[in-house]
Amino acid sequence: MRHYKQWLAGMAMAAGMFTSAFAATDVAGVKLDDTLQVANVDLKLNGAGIRYKAIFKVYVAALYLKDKKSTVPEVLASTGPRRVTIVMLRDVSNEEFGRGFMSGIQQNTEKAEKVKLTAQFLRFGELFASVPELKKGDVMINDWIPGVGTVVSLNGKRMGEPYPDIAFNNALLRIWLGDKPVDSGLKKAMLAEHEDRGNLH
């Protein structure tokens, strides 16, 4: 009887380990939840990858959506909350990090939209000045919350007021998913790759 109980306990432990193995995705040693909640809505990990600059790993970026999407138009048209999680893999100055973000926005945003969102872009650019340096392990989160806006936080602390326009959030997403993404490999990684995708063509 005792051996049977031990066997049951062992099976339960193995099942627990098996379950936990599928509860998170590992990218460059960074554990990313496969599901999480934003504004009381369950979001799924759409895709995640590494931002490279030359041969250096800069950060891991992960995209969370209510339902998985495999094309950029689908992502930008998605309703409900969204999240982009960025986990730093090396120390980067605020100037370098901010320049990368703003360059990505400039290259992937149409002129009319830039004019419309100028005030929000300026405020977003100033946000980086408040952080002298992003350190390895720092976590920046960009949440889109309907009715609130884009909420940016660093290591759990909210940075400034929300950015109310969905167009602003789409401009942020196009840093990674636009026609001129900061890293084309990362763009592919952030878009969900369905197993049956090859059958769609």
Looking at residue 120, its amino acid is Q
For residue 17, the model assigns a pLDDT of 39
For residue 70, the model assigns a pLDDT of 95
Give the start-to-end residue ranges of the domains of the chain: 24-200
Instruction: Kindly state the tokens that stand for 88.
Output: 């730093």
Tens-place pLDDT, residues 155-172: 999 999 999 999 999 999
14 pairs with which residues across the strands? none
For residue 3, the model assigns a pLDDT of 47
CATH number, domain 24-200: 3.50.70.10
For residue 79, the model assigns a pLDDT of 87
> What is the C-alpha to C-alpha distance for residues 51 and 100, in angstroms, rounded to an integer?
11
Tens-place pLDDT, residues 88-130: 999 999 899 988 999 999 999 999 999 999 999 999 988 888 8
> What is the C-alpha to C-alpha distance for residues 61 and 32, in angstroms, rounded to an integer?
10
Where residue 132 falls among pLDDT bands split at 50, 70, 90?
Answer: confident
For residue 1, the model assigns a pLDDT of 52
Mean pLDDT along residues 42-57: 95
> What is the C-alpha to C-alpha distance for residues 45 and 60, in angstroms, rounded to an integer?
13
Query: 166-177 vs 94-108: helix axis angle to the nearest 10?
Result: 100
Where residue 21 falls among pLDDT bands split at 50, 70, 90?
Answer: very low
Q: How far is CA 100 from CA 51, 74, 92, 97, 189, in A?
A: 11, 25, 11, 5, 19
